[in-house]
Structure 1
Amino acid sequence: MQNNLVNWYWKIDVNSEQLVLCLSSDIHFPTLFCRQQVSSLTSPQCAFTTEDAWLYSAFRDLLGLTNLNQEAQFTLAINATAACNYLTPCATKSWFFETLSKDKKTFECGDIVETQSLTLGYYLVLDSDPLTSTIILLSQKQQVDSNRVFNQGQVLKVHNDRLEKKSNIELLTL
């Protein structure tokens, strides 16, 4: 369903090969995702749908409870929306993180979770099933091993036993 209240649309930029959200004829917001990661754009230019608007608003409201600045909230909400609706599925990368629990855990879209590797990282759950969750990094960065750092906006899929739900998100230092 198309949202007729705004004329935003998604497209793949021909020069950068990135998924871009076009807010107006002269304001284009590049996401963190390249053409190879995008699976479900049905044409060169796809409308920002009502579902996109609903997800964006839900993520923006949730991120408004954190200590992230307005620009980071907007950026993460747009990237989370794009990841939920347009990215190809990704393989799990659980080996980067410590097991936090032996209990079976389930998560919902919008949960804020923590992971532990060399440093602590806070993520937003985008999608979940009984075994795994797709998450996007809210922290500025997370050092996962001596050679690798994940940056804010990184999308991963991990096993649920690597995640711990956080309830007081306004107290987290992102």
Structure 2
Amino acid sequence: MLKPSDKWNWYFDEQKACLMLDLGEEMIFQTNLCRKLLVNCAFSSNEFTVDDASAFQTYSEKIRCLDINEYRQAELTLYCVAANRFHKPVQPKSWFFDAQPSAHEPEEGDMVFLSNQYSEGVFIVLEPGETSSLCIYVGQDAFLLNGSKTLHFGQPIKVMHDRMASANHLFVLAPIAMVG
């Protein structure tokens, strides 16, 4: 399993036009965050900080319960850490999702369920706010937002809480007692 290191460095790759993470040993991770989604500090070299490592641990633990292989878990965890640190503040895009009967007040790392007439899926909460949160889509299949726009695995979107339903209960591992 991938373990955070203080030798990792974030940088913006002009040729690929996205944020990268140098993991050392000639390994580079390409995030899905393009120029228009990044805060200004992302365009200079940035160390992988203690806060990044803490976020990595938080998301890694939450993502471990998903039915995806270890490599996809590591990829999703790094997408979460990158978005948590470098995604610029944006307005919610809640019109893509159906309203829920009662608003959910998520915490960082919560799994939430979002749906619309085209798709339904699970998202992980990165930055919970008062009325909306930045989330990342954790599904393997594309999430159709409308007839022409889609979200793919690991892509972020900000959504109002009145569109979210808790999905944490779907990922709780219950202890099993073996009796003989």
4+ residue stretches of structure 1 with deviation over 4 A?
none
State the alpha-carbon separation in 2 of the partners of residues 158 and 5 from structure 1: 32
* TM-score, scaled to structure 1: 0.88
State the alpha-carbon separation in 1 of the partners of residues 70 and 25 from structure 2: 23
State the alpha-carbon separation in 1 of the partners of residues 73 and 159 from structure 2: 23
- What is the identity, as a one-letter code, of the residue corresponding to 1:62? K
State the alpha-carbon separation in 1 of the partners of residues 14 and 103 from structure 2: 44
Q: Could you say which structure has the larger radius of gyration? A: 2
Count of residues in correspondence between the two structures: 167
- What is the identity, as a one-letter code, of the residue corresponding to 2:114? T
Q: Deviation digits for residues 105-143 of structure 1, max 9, x if unmatched?
A: 311111000001111111000111221111100012212
- What is the identity, as a one-letter code, of the residue corresponding to 2:111? I
Q: Where does 1:128-167 land on structure 2 (aligned, <5 Å)?
A: 128-140=128-140, 141-167=142-168
Aligned residues with identical type, % of pairs? 25
- What is the identity, as a one-letter code, of the residue corresponding to 2:45? Q
Deviates more, 1:137-146 or 1:112-121: 137-146
Unaligned 5+ residue runs, structure 1? none
Q: Where does 1:5-84 land on structure 2 (aligned, <5 Å)?
A: 6-24=6-24, 26-41=26-41, 44-84=44-84
Unaligned 5+ residue runs, structure 2? 173-180
Structure whose residues are more often strand by fraction? 1
RMSD between superposed Cα atoms in Å:
1.9
CA distance 1:42–1:18, change in 2 (3 Å): closer
- What is the identity, as a one-letter code, of the residue corresponding to 2:110? D
State the alpha-carbon separation in 2 of the partners of residues 23 and 145 from structure 1: 36
